[in-house]
Structure 1
């Protein structure tokens, strides 16, 4: 499951861009770069997609027309029984335009962060020369270096073409390796400088156009059409060009539009009601009041929150194919994780040497280390390493004939020059080897069976070690305990998932006994042992039928059905094309444990949206109670008691509210881009915290902000 890397760092490819790493949520450079985009978004053809801000833009345009016409119409009308300064309408118009501009700025800054990544990726999409195999046949020999090829432009490659790529060449398009193995530099895509190994016939056969082969030769079958490569899809997604509104956003937009319509009706009825008291409310005041009442804060930031959520995934080198996938990650209740490479390191390691009765520990350790010197597997190397920790060093080589492991013998070892034979392997195979020259004492077998059973019950793998002298006398020395090593810190992270109401399930092909032991050590809630692709698919469907949203990772073609069925399917970039097509996210780093981070980012997106919606609605209610008493206390002196802030005048109250309404958007842009700090709490506790912090904060902030602005506005002539 995990990405295979070579021990050395890849040389830097001249001119190859790397994916930008984490950026600050909001900086002066980003702000300056986003300003032109904010002005371009003033186009009504774009604004109408955001009903709330479209109403504000219409109000700004209408108020501007009124401000221009006022000198010809005899000046501004009175409002609430008090005179209105000549500059009042222009002030309202200017701040309404700034409100729209600030909303566009939030979205433009969010989009700009993705465009930086897209520009970097676009540089990798240059046309390169490809060596297309002429007359390729599936029955032919793709390994043949004499196979005729023709040079074509990578832009002319079609789906199904076969190309040969040698060391130093750029891979001309997305495809699957059908022959060969090579080290590939993917820094242009992932930003990581360490090369990765790609090979045919496995789950690491997919290659991406624009990456460079560092060694050997591979033959690749193109799996994408021109203009539809993985990089093309990445560019479109991170730029936001292909971003569609998610169901949650659509529902929230409907709610905001409904509230806007309600407040339009409320505002239109104010003037008829005021006329009964011989009062008038000017049109600029009505527009200002409408803008203060409708949910402009969340309407301005909603799109930026969604774009920033996807951008946070990009900063973690995860590409979400849709905003829906990010939202679904926030609502996940069941998390399926593969054991190997996700929960464990992927290779079993020697953890202890267990001697049989009467056998010196040093003899067992030395013999086990000698039998493992020629073992190239990580397990064999771990035996030598553990022996060194125990103080037994056998060097790098040992004289004798190496006996390699085979599926038939299920043993490996060393035949030394003096006739001594050493074997290490499965218990039954080693016992049978010993008993070729004589029976083993029942007490020794009982001791061995006890140790083997203990290790097996703990989820480990027992390797029995034995030695046979030149005379044929054999002895069982003991057992090497191999175990899957659970990654550090996972138990705590799974505990956080549990606190969030997420159930974790480990999926493994191991037997139930081993699976149970690993699951207990890792701290997952459940496990599925001896899992087949059909078992994974059935488990996901059962969870979904129970009302759960399911997330899982995968990298192989056999994972594709389950990835497609899961609500959040995270495919590894090292995996097959089928897996990447089936999933709705691709992890460019191919780190399966990142699924936990994806869930956290999804939840942060939903929490941020909920928190700022709570703040916006509370903010609007507070503005209503802050300015209405000040507006009408000239007509209804009894309302003066409700003017608890002591606002200077009706005109200063309205203008201060409009200014605050615009400024609060700018203040909240960094929070919308960065996201509300996530804490692993239950849904009820998160809701309570949001109501306390952002609900109460949304009520208090306008009273403070409007009062401070009113103190300044009150100093202006006429106010």
Structure 2
């Protein structure tokens, strides 16, 4: 090893377990066993107090247990037993959802345990030859100090070599390496991380497979991506969403109304000459209140977050997931989202008297300060096709570089008093406003754009940028080629069926943008977009009452990500972008935004479907139980006893047993989610009412009748 003076440590850096976060290893019998134990622990009244509906069931179970002890009977004992089962099954639903997260968190913790970082001294000079590594001065190697990863602070520089674990989230500032990110993303294929460009971010807990890199730490201990994932999958940071709170208030109100209705039954029955026992009234109350959705509500929310994490997306809160389900407008960058994103320079088109070699030399100079994949591809094309050097020589390294920015949409260099620029046609033509050959350049721009390519204009100004002198000269057009992703048009069609409008945003000229938009099937497009244009578009959509989602990875995307209702930042993006968004895509795949919308809609649909089923269940149980209970007092009610239940006691006990068992039956559906098919809101509502409304009404009649056939065989009931 050259360039670093290392101190070896006795304990090797830990390696990730390699178990994918998004695997199915969490769905094991061990999770269910642990959940059963946790369900018993959740019988603590302080835990039950968080859910008013379950608190009523818990109180009823305590009351009936007391009555069964003071006045023992088979009926009272069985009702008390099944009321406790109801509370346990409700706790089990939440415990299983949390347990699956804990199983995932265990593998994530293994990825960060006992990691030792090789920290460089502050002030280390990184501007040295890559073959010798960082140095504090000419010929002076920078020693590293082994420190625990927990002691790293923002701004620290650490060296990570092949076989070692990245000790914390950060940006590669020196070198290039192949990195295994399977411990975090679940993808086994290694990725390249290098200094500069848009693939410089690394995640703590991942493993360097080859070469060595220097990483600048960007997060404090305890706030890394892995730490946030652990908090999310365990549910430690999950707060109730506005929809959950609103639904909880509704369920509480229904519980109060039904409580008053059941309480009113006692004096009514006493007036009729037969007092209904307190055990029966308590059982009736538990059967009629919305116990099912009250038991599954928390599990639905936790499982929704779990599905998102399994797709490799971190959300700061459940509110963001719900917002994704209600999104009306989707903003997508063209490059990397609609197209493959590997735009590469494929041809040079000189204009006027410019020779191909002259255009290649100028295009290379203007791209030396452009770290984007497009800029690097221009340098590579000039090197392979025109024999030009791939790197800057000594004079070029000392020249004034003009880096590419989204605002100017140009890059270039000022060398020996000559300004060379390359960039979007509109930006360069405005910069070289006094140059000739504009008609030929316009024709080439149109030709390249009509073919779906991206044209970049190259110009030079011997006056050093003083275009007033009229010395600027247009040299030609660089053609970049990209391809629309296969199947993307079908995805956008699905979004359109959901009622989501897609808007493609690109810095390309309007003609190229229109061609790509037509091929991809997006609803609208915004060409030559600056960060200010994106922000203005989002605000305009929101002013019309629409929810907006978008993706981004750069610092200039941060304002728009913060403004959007759902802002998805790429994990390889800048720290500013990740702080501004309310979601982070660990795979850095912009098309994930479509999946996020589907997961959000599935969460809302699952909650709505099970709420419909629960309310319909309660309605059916009302008409199933009351006729059997009061037919003796009010003979006309006997005509409504369509199930022919044996006795009032068997009717009540059968309903209590069904009420408990239906929770267990619905746990897998709550965790998996209702199957989502892209369709309009009206179609979804019809399907919801048909399947879960009518199904919720019919199921209790069948279930209670079957249970009654068994219950009537029990002596004393």
Report the TM-score when normalising by structure 1: 0.79
User: Post-superposition shift, 1:124?
Assistant: 1.2
Gaps of 5+ in 2: 1-13, 350-371, 397-421, 426-438, 458-476
Q: Residues 679-698 of structure 1 correspond to what in structure 2 (within 5 A)?
A: 679-698=677-696
| Correspondence 1:234 to 2:264 | no
Partner of 2:560: 562
CA contact (8 A) 1:25 1:670 kept: no
Give 2:109's match in structure 1, choosing from 122, 125, 132: 122
Give 1:88's match in structure 2, choosing from 75, 79, 82: 75
CA distance in 1 between counterparts of 2:34 and 2:265 reads 42
CA contact (8 A) 2:26 2:101 kept: no
User: Post-superposition shift, 1:692?
Assistant: 1.2
User: Post-superposition shift, 1:450?
Assistant: 7.8
Give 1:620's match in structure 2, choosing from 618, 621, 627: 618
Partner of 2:307: 312
Compared CA separation, residues 140 and 488, structure 1 to 2 (3 A): closer
CA contact (8 A) 1:17 1:121 kept: no
CA contact (8 A) 1:38 1:105 kept: yes
SS of residue in 2 equivalent to 1:710? helix
Give 1:701's match in structure 2, choosing from 681, 699, 702: 699
User: Post-superposition shift, 1:349?
Assistant: 7.2
User: Post-superposition shift, 1:668?
Assistant: 0.8
Compared CA separation, residues 70 and 14, structure 1 to 2 (3 A): same
Compared CA separation, residues 480 and 199, structure 1 to 2 (3 A): closer
CA contact (8 A) 1:174 1:224 kept: yes
Compared CA separation, residues 165 and 634, structure 1 to 2 (3 A): same
CA contact (8 A) 2:16 2:112 kept: no
CA distance in 2 between counterparts of 1:595 and 1:226 reads 29
Decide which structure has the larger Cα Rg and report it. 1
User: Post-superposition shift, 1:555?
Assistant: 1.4
Compared CA separation, residues 505 and 59, structure 1 to 2 (3 A): same
CA distance in 1 between counterparts of 2:232 and 2:669 reads 23
User: Post-superposition shift, 1:454?
Assistant: 4.4
User: Post-superposition shift, 1:201?
Assistant: 3.2
Give 2:283's match in structure 1, choosing from 241, 266, 288: 288
User: Comparing both chains, which one has the higher relative contact order based on Cα–Cα distances under 8 Å and sequence gaps of 6 or more?
Assistant: 1
CA distance in 2 between counterparts of 1:230 and 1:381 reads 30
Compared CA separation, residues 210 and 347, structure 1 to 2 (3 A): closer
CA contact (8 A) 1:503 1:525 kept: yes
Partner of 2:419: none
CA contact (8 A) 1:175 1:221 kept: yes
SS of residue in 2 equivalent to 1:671? helix
CA distance in 2 between counterparts of 1:449 and 1:556 reads 30
Partner of 2:335: 340
Give 2:449's match in structure 1, choosing from 425, 444, 456: 456
Q: Deviations over 1:332-382 (max 9, x none)?
A: 11111111111101134799999xxxxxxxxxxxxxxxxxxxxxx999999
Q: Which moved more, 1:666-675 or 1:19-28?
A: 19-28
SS of residue in 2 equivalent to 1:631? helix
Q: Deviations over 1:76-134 (max 9, x none)?
A: xxxxxxxxxx3011111011000111111111111111112111100112132222222
Q: Residues 347-366 of structure 1 correspond to what in structure 2 (within 5 A)?
A: 347-348=342-343
CA distance in 2 between counterparts of 1:267 and 1:292 reads 11
CA distance in 2 between counterparts of 1:401 and 1:228 reads 48
| Correspondence 1:651 to 2:649 | yes
Partner of 1:157: 152
CA contact (8 A) 1:157 1:226 kept: yes
Give 1:143's match in structure 2, choosing from 134, 137, 140: 134
Partner of 1:362: none
User: Post-superposition shift, 1:67?
Assistant: 0.2
Q: Residues 176-215 of structure 1 correspond to what in structure 2 (within 5 A)?
A: 176-215=171-210
Q: Deviations over 1:315-339 (max 9, x none)?
A: 2111222111111110011111111
SS of residue in 1 equivalent to 2:272? coil
User: Post-superposition shift, 1:137?
Assistant: 6.0
Partner of 2:410: none
Partner of 1:59: 60
Q: Deviations over 1:137-190 (max 9, x none)?
A: 689868327123322222222233222333333222222233333222222211
Q: Which moved more, 1:54-63 or 1:204-213?
A: 204-213
CA contact (8 A) 1:143 1:180 kept: no
Size of the aligned set, in residue pairs, is 615
CA distance in 2 between counterparts of 1:346 and 1:134 reads 38
CA distance in 1 between counterparts of 2:142 and 2:610 reads 62
CA contact (8 A) 2:168 2:219 kept: yes
| Correspondence 1:633 to 2:631 | yes
Give 1:577's match in structure 2, choosing from 564, 568, 575: 575
Q: Residues 11-30 of structure 1 correspond to what in structure 2 (within 5 A)?
A: 16-23=17-24, 28-30=29-31
Report the TM-score when normalising by structure 2: 0.79
Partner of 1:170: 165
Partner of 2:93: 106
Compared CA separation, residues 331 and 156, structure 1 to 2 (3 A): same
Compared CA separation, residues 38 and 128, structure 1 to 2 (3 A): same
Partner of 1:541: 539
User: Post-superposition shift, 1:19?
Assistant: 2.4
